[in-house]
Amino acid sequence: MIKVKAVQVLALIFFSVSALAQTKTTFVPKQGYLFDVQYNIQNPGGDLADRFGWNSAIGIGARYKFESGWTAGVQYNWMFGNNVKEVNMFDSILGPSGEIIDKDGLFSVIRLNQRGHVMTFNGGRLFPMLKHNRNSGIYIEAGAGFMLHRIDIFASSLTVPQVTEAYEKGYDRLTGGYAFAQFIGYQHLDPKKRVNIQAGFSFQQAFTKSMRTVDFDTRTYNDQKRVDLVNGFRIGIMIPVYTKRLEEEEFFID
């Protein structure tokens, strides 16, 4: 009798451990929404490299992940930086000493920054690398949208009418056009939803032109067609919200 009970206890422990191990090691493909926040460090290329240096971007995105690993969503990035190379637009309003003089006859210091926006609609595919976690692996994504960037002009005094308020638009080099984006990296979705991260390399190509009718320094419209490139490294955190298939729903009848 004791031997029978011992066998029953051992069998119960065995099946309990097996079930626990399966819970810990098996994370089947799931479908649902992925909301993410990202940080990018980026190096401009093409025509953009003549205007700006290294910059950063903060992004937010939303995607829907299917069980098959395919995704569809939207991504927005806000670019910012303080490495501006194109500064000759002020040559025509500089004083003899090479400084801008405000309306009170004093020297004014001007600081230039980069500002920009990129929005794309994307499709991607997850390629699982681990048998026990089919929601993590190599992630590849591509999309198309719009890029906009400009030079943000900040004067040390509001008494510099040459470059403030509406006149700033004549010097800010606002530029925009169609853009394409790609990403390749690793995506990790924790079975317990604790640590969900994505990291990899991003690439953007934009075909842009000036959005201003005239540049004040040249007194003409800049009709140059541009190819603006941005390459960088991206890391982000994700918040998954999984949805159930119809056959997974549970129904209760009184």
Backbone angles phi, psi at 184, to 5 degrees: -140, 130
Class of domain 30-242: mainly beta
Which residue is it, tokens 């075909």?
207
pLDDT tens digit string along 236-245? Answer: 999 999 887 6
Task: Determine phi and psi for 240, rounding to 5 degrees.
Answer: -85, 140
pLDDT at 193 over 80: no
Is the pLDDT assigned to residue 179 strictly greater than 60?
A: yes
pLDDT in tens, 110-147: 889 999 999 999 999 999 988 888 889 999 999 999 99
211 phi and psi angles, rounded to 5 deg:
-100, 5
For the chain, give every domain's residue range. Answer: 30-242
**Alpha helical stretches, state H, the chain:** 2-25
Question: Tell me: the pLDDT tens digits for 54-106?
Answer: 999 999 999 999 999 999 999 999 999 999 999 888 877 776 666 777 777 77
The closest alpha carbon to 217, from 166, 169, 171, belongs to 171
d(CA 69, CA 49): 36
14-61 tens-digit pLDDT: 444 344 344 444 567 789 999 999 999 999 999 999 999 999 999 999
CA 34, CA 61: separation in Å to the nearest integer?
8
Find where tokens 């941005």 sit.
230
Identify the residue with better confidence: 23 or 180.
180
pLDDT value of residue 96 = 66
Higher per-residue confidence, 29 vs 148: 148
Q: What angle do CA 199, 70, 246 make, to 5 degrees?
A: 125
Instruction: Provide the residue type at 82 as one letter.
Output: N
